[in-house]
Amino acid sequence: MTPTHTDKDGSMARAMWAVVLTGLVATVLAGWVGGGLAARSAALGAAVAAANLWVIALVVRGMLGEKKSTVPWPLIAVLKMGLLFGGLYLLLRGGWVSLLPLLAGYGSLPLGIVAGQLGAPHPVEEEG
């Protein structure tokens, strides 16, 4: 019987949940300190962080996958970066979000990745 989830999937799920939870904390704190615009900005930053992690995981799996893929993963990675920076620029330029709370929400990405790896099992080294 073939397992449907590997430990790598578990690590990614832990990291994703940690990003979402730290983003939620950032959103609540931003709303408490700065009001509605700050909460909306932090929530959007956290949502962008979670989406960014998910797309990065897809691109890395696609590029390192064992099967030959017809999907142009490097192009998707470049488009992701363009959409990320372009979209955030338009949101900031239009006044839909505030910069510091947006960065606080997006900061959930590195914090969540680190927090998600705290409970991860360590790799076993093979004796050679």
pLDDT score for 86: 93
* Domain ranges within the chain, ordered by starting residue: 10-117
CA 98/CA 95 separation, integer angstroms: 7
User: Per residue in 80-113, pLDDT tens?
Assistant: 899 989 999 999 999 999 999 999 999 999 998 8
User: Per residue in 9-21, pLDDT tens?
Assistant: 677 888 899 999 9
The model's pTM is 0.79
pLDDT score for 120: 67
Cβ-contact 85, 102 below 8 angstroms: no
